[in-house]
Amino acid sequence: MAKILLFHHAQGLTSGVRAFADNIRAAGHIVHTPDLFDGRTFGSLEEGLAYIGENGFDAIRERGVRVADELPAELVYAGFSFGVLPTQKLAQTRPGARGALLFYSCLPITGEWSFGPWPDGVAVQIHGMDNDPIFVGEGDIDAAREIVAKVADAELFLYPGDQHYFADSSLPSYDADATALLTARVLAFLQRV
């Protein structure tokens, strides 16, 4: 059994993110799903990003990081898109991390946006669609490939399609087949970390 801290994407803690967490719980894991937006959800990515911009990317990321203060150190950190920001910061800087699950986004481990090198012994899986205009078009895939090239226990999984939030069953971008495969891979990961 793994303990997971799962961060939602820029549209908020949607029913689809909750459903994903429930599927992981049904497999016997403990999943914490903090709401970084205090109950707000948004009808589009743009609306969610506007809210984040008004409140500050760094401020909301740090709100997520502080959530971990009340939890044990031995966690798997997971995040959907915007949720990757606190996920990577915690996985890379908080001692005791068991693993990281990065969905639809990835930050580089070198350069200006980096939290530093990836820590030894922290496994990571990265998932995205091969034609996602954000994951591929904005360079997250390059950061993912850098991690896979430099980290011993790192995997990158690409799914056919062009949707960003493909594992959120409450959104039109949902892809049931890709989500089923993603979920199977996540559960296998959680069994071994």
Query: pTM (2 decimals)?
Result: 0.96
Q: Number of helices (H) and strands (E), helices first, in the chain? A: 6, 6
CATH 3.40.50.1820 fits 3-192, yes or no: yes
Q: Tell me: the pLDDT tens digits for 101-150?
A: 999 999 999 888 789 999 999 999 999 999 999 999 999 999 999 999 99
Q: Tell me: the pLDDT tens digits for 3-23?
A: 999 999 999 999 999 999 999
Please report the beta strands in the chain, taking only residues with DSSP state E, as ranges in sequence order.
Answer: 3-7, 30-32, 76-80, 99-103, 123-129, 154-159
